[in-house]
Amino acid sequence: MSIRWKFLLSYAAMLVVPLLLLIITAMLMSIVYHGDVQSLKSTYESKFEGMEENDTRNLIKHTFLQNTDLLTDTAFLNELSADMLKKNTSVYIRSEDQTLFASEDLKLKQGLIDHLPGYKGDRSHIEPIRQQFNNEWYQVGQFDLLSKDAKPVSIFFLTPIDPLVQFVRTFFPTLFLITLVILVLTHTLLTKYMSRRIIRPLLELRKATKRVTEGDLDFQVEINGKDELGQLGMAFEEMRYRLQQSILIQQQYETNRKELITNISHDLKTPITAIKGYVDGILEGIADSPEKNEKYMRTIAAKAGEMDHLINELFLYSKLDMQKLPFSFESVRIIPFLNDWAEELKVELEKQEVALNIEMTGGEEVWVTVDRDSFKRVLGNIIQNSLKYMDKLEKKITVHSGQEAAQFILTIEDNGPGIPPEATEHIFERFYRGEQSRNTHTGGSGLGLAIAKQIIAGHGGMIYANSTEGIGTIIYIALPIVKGDIGDEPNHIDC
């Protein structure tokens, strides 16, 4: 629910809720006052038009007290009753227990007459009282006097009472206090509700903003709801999270940059030191024969070549990392492509006395999108990495192929020393090399597998490794199939 509707409903509730509570309270009090709610019906059926108290006193003073014979004058009494009934008031005159006169409407209300008060004394005036008959209430005014023959006479004026008016007159102070209490409670509760739903989230956002400006991002904004404030809270939390991640990434980039400089310095220092040593040997005359001089020069050239190769690897990795190396993709039948590559590789491996086993079966019609040169570089880097660490007398590399769902899986397995389990997940990181391999015997830039991972990622594929110490290492390359034997039964490769 939007904030606009919340405000509108809260304002409406501030009007409707007190009104409903007041009506319910009034009805409950009317039940206590009247005994039931049936008499409230008269609120809509009758109006109070009875005589005022002063008028009745003047009537008694100027008529009956001056001429007691009028108490038995039927013509006068009928005329008086007709005038009084116009004002919604009935007349009843009683002498001792005998009825001297009764208005027409009282003849059917004997129960009301029977419960009228007794004679109080000559010329006494009784303040009006309330008296109930059936579901109707009457205001009864009583005046007592003596007749001409000294008999006690009571004159009653009975006026129907509007129950609501009487109720309000009786309970107005109570209703007023109840109304005030209801208004205060309603406004307090609604204000508290709106404070919790609107003001508190705003204060939470203000506190969160202050923490962000102070550089503190290690917290979480918890503002629930589907209204505008809830959406604002979620947007603020998303902003805070992304800003925090951006700072963490920036810190990681800074750490990586420092590590890169350290690693470059380390890898360049070895060939530079060797070049300086051989140059000094030539300058100092240690190479005192043409054969030694040629040997020193060739060593210097080899070390310079290592430096050139390292710089090229760094340049290539930087371009891949910044996604500035363009790929020339094309769809190729992957098995024939790999067979051609394997034939070329077999010749090179035979020179190094390494056996190459090709076990690519099935999927001859599978097509994969690759950049030929970049993909060959990935394969070359993997092979070179395997050759660099082989320590067996019978060196062997095996190439498998297969399908898994909509992916073509290529595996390159060697029988080298293997990789410790804790190092397997790090071998595709740049400059990562085990300490036992950081020596002049194995060499290497430490970027080969990192470059391979970047290229495969650019192809929309994955590269990962599985290794067992003392047995060897398996490198897996998974590439999406664009067409071919996708629906064929796959040749699963166990990882």
Residues 151 and 185 in one domain: no
Q: Is residue 317 part of a domain?
A: yes
Residues 471 and 349 in one domain: yes
Q: Is residue 219 part of a domain?
A: no
Q: In the predicted model, is pLDDT for residue 387 greater than 60?
A: yes
Residue 484 pLDDT: 66
Residue 169 pLDDT: 63
Measured CA to CA, the distance from residue 444 to residue 432 in angstroms comes to 11
Identify the weakest region by mean pLDDT among 146-160, 271-285, 438-452, 480-494. 480-494
Please list, in sequence order, all residues whose beta carbon lies within 8 angstroms of the beta carbon of residue 495, skipping any fewer than 6 positions away: 464, 466, 476
Q: In the predicted model, is pLDDT for residue 10 greater than 60?
A: yes
Identify the weakest region by mean pLDDT among 128-137, 257-266, 378-387. 257-266
Tell me the per-residue pLDDT of 17-48, one tens digit each, with 9 for 90 and over: 777 777 777 676 666 555 544 444 443 333 33
Measured CA to CA, the distance from residue 150 to residue 119 in angstroms comes to 13
Residues 411 and 341 in one domain: yes
Give the end of a domain, one of 321, 340, 362: 321
Take residue 230 and report the two structure tokens written for it: 């809830």
CATH number, position 86: 3.30.450
Percent pLDDT > 90 in the chain is 7
Please list, in sequence order, all residues whose beta carbon lies within 8 angstroms of the beta carbon of residue 153, skipping any fewer than 6 positions away: 68, 71, 93, 94, 95, 100, 119, 144, 145, 146, 147
Other CB atoms closer than 10 Å to residue 214's CB: what's the count? 8
Banded pLDDT at 474 (limits 50, 70, 90)? very high
Residues 438 and 381 in one domain: yes
Residue 398 pLDDT: 92
Give the end of a domain, one of 321, 341, 363: 321
Banded pLDDT at 463 (limits 50, 70, 90)? very high
In which element (H, E) is residue 422 found? helix 421-424
Q: Which amino acid is located at 422 in the chain?
A: E
CATH number, position 254: 1.10.287.130
Residues 18 and 136 in one domain: no
Residues 132 and 240 in one domain: no
Please list, in sequence order, all residues whose beta carbon lies within 8 angstroms of the beta carbon of residue 416, skipping any fewer than 6 positions away: 386, 389, 390, 391, 392, 472, 473
**More confident of the two residues 208 and 324:** 208
CATH number, position 427: 3.30.565.10
Q: Is residue 203 part of a domain?
A: no
Residues 237 and 102 in one domain: no
**More confident of the two residues 224 and 371:** 371
Classify each residue of 450-468 as buried b or exposed e, where b means 16 or more C-beta atoms within 10 Å of its C-beta: bbbbbbbebbebebbbbbe
Residues 317 and 353 in one domain: no
Residues 174 and 145 in one domain: no
Q: Is residue 217 part of a domain?
A: no
Residue 40 pLDDT: 43
Q: Is residue 192 part of a domain?
A: yes
Q: Is residue 204 part of a domain?
A: no
Take residue 286 and report the two structure tokens written for it: 């240690």
Residue 412 pLDDT: 92
Banded pLDDT at 50 (limits 50, 70, 90)? very low
Identify the weakest region by mean pLDDT among 193-202, 343-352, 362-371, 432-441. 432-441
Tell me the per-residue pLDDT of 214-264, one tens digit each, with 9 for 90 and over: 888 888 887 776 767 777 888 888 888 888 888 888 887 777 677 767 777
**More confident of the two residues 70 and 320:** 70
Q: Partners of 403 in the beta sheet?
A: 408
Residues 122 and 248 in one domain: no
Please list, in sequence order, all residues whose beta carbon lies within 8 angstroms of the beta carbon of residue 360, skipping any fewer than 6 positions away: 335, 338, 339, 342, 399, 400, 401
Residue 200 pLDDT: 77
* Number of domains observed in the structure of the chain: 4
Mean pLDDT of the chain, nearest integer: 79
DSSP-based three-state secondary structure for 295: helix
pLDDT (mean) for 115-137: 81
Q: In the predicted model, is pLDDT for residue 325 greater than 90?
A: no
Identify the weakest region by mean pLDDT among 6-10, 37-41, 425-429. 37-41
Q: Is residue 279 part of a domain?
A: yes
Residue 440 pLDDT: 40
Residues 36 and 72 in one domain: no
pLDDT (mean) for 196-201: 74
Identify the weakest region by mean pLDDT among 99-103, 253-257, 333-337, 450-454. 253-257
Identify the weakest region by mean pLDDT among 130-144, 340-354, 474-488. 474-488
Banded pLDDT at 6 (limits 50, 70, 90)? low
Q: In the predicted model, is pLDDT for residue 476 greater than 90?
A: yes
Q: Is residue 126 part of a domain?
A: yes
Range of the domain at 431: 330-483
Residue (of 64, 220, 74) closest to 155 by Cα position: 64
Residues 346 and 466 in one domain: yes
Measured CA to CA, the distance from residue 51 to residue 228 in angstroms comes to 63
